[in-house]
Structure 1
Amino acid sequence: MENEHRLTRIFAVKTTNRAERSVADNIDKAVRDADNDIRVMSVIVPDELKGYVLVETDEPIARVQELMEHVPSARTVLPGVTTLEEVGHYLIPKPAVSGIDEGTIVELINGPFKGEKAVVKRVDASKEEITVELYESVLPIPITVRGDHVRVIDRGEDDS
């Protein structure tokens, strides 16, 4: 009963590059291990926070560090804690077209034109789609693709 009133906190755990999701899965497995009695409420893997996962727990940092010793690709627990208010913006999904404007140079990363470079001609944020024209095309044919099917190469902003 004494544990019911413990304060939850969020720790940032440094991971190996591009191993954030596997670290989260391995934390889940380690917590479910019958020999382990550590309590973890959630593990957050924000796309924008490369190389880190966030662990919500009511355990002290020493217990979290002890758990991470058994988690492959988990490097270290950063000192200090954070709050849900500070990391809450990571929980709100960003539209697939955020940061993409007319004139942006993109590479298609999915579909029949995968690998082709194109310039954005129109952005439809409500449908999360963009209309592009391929660079290599002899005739400028507009192609509409999902916003998550492109990778931004150049934002086309003036530096002057």
Structure 2
Amino acid sequence: MLMTEEPEIRIFAIKTTAKQERAVVDSLYRAVLHDPSFKVLSVVSPDELKGYVLIEAAEPFARIAELIESVPSARVVVPGETKMEEIAHYLEPKPTVTGIDEGTIVELIAGPFKGEKAVVKRVDSNKEEITVELYESMVPIPITVRGDNVRVIDRGES
């Protein structure tokens, strides 16, 4: 009886041109669609990992190096494999309200008050919402917005 061995899944880091990570991911996707002999499971570009793209594949190093030859802005495959434990923290979603505290000055970047500056009065990490009061308002009216609808201007640290 013939037993076929399951191929080993590896994770490689690919060095890219600065600020071209998303373009490299898109190009890798198209290259794998064009040549299905490449056994690529996933390609990710975490925001915190500037200049690199991670690729999960059932391929050896040489095949991944061959794959990126046709991808513009993909420079080189970093020698060696990456372990899941080393990249797991990049794959966990971060709450959008991380780093925003009461007293922080923010600018609203979406919604009817877009462009207005406001002071954070309350942070709800569970719902990923913050309650703010507009700076220019004559009467302080609390407004609750999603954490990704604001841009931090001043953290209020002295």
The bucket for the TM-score relative to the shorter chain is 0.7 to 0.9
Aligned residues: 157
Partner residue in 2 for 1:15: 16
Q: Which runs of 4+ in 1 moved over 6 A?
A: none
Displacement of 1:5:
4.4
Displacement of 1:141:
2.4
Q: Unpaired segments of 5 or more residues in structure 1?
A: none
Displacement of 1:148:
0.8
Tell me which amino acid in the other structure corresponds to 1:131. Answer: T
Partner residue in 1 for 2:85: 85
Q: Unpaired segments of 5 or more residues in structure 2?
A: none
SS at match of 2:31: helix
Q: 1:135 to 1:31 in 2, by over 3 A?
A: same
SS at match of 1:7: coil
What CA deviation, in whole Å up to 9, does each residue of 1:20-67 have, x standing for no partner?
A: 233222212111214x62221211222222332110123232322221
Match status 1:112 vs 2:109 = no
Match status 1:55 vs 2:55 = yes
Q: TM-score, normalised by structure 1?
A: 0.83
Tell me which amino acid in the other structure corresponds to 1:103. Answer: G
Q: Give the root-mean-square deviation of aligned CA atoms.
A: 2.3
Match status 1:99 vs 2:103 = no
The 5 Å alignment of 1:5-44 reads 5-34=6-35, 37-44=37-44
Tell me which amino acid in the other structure corresponds to 1:26. Answer: S
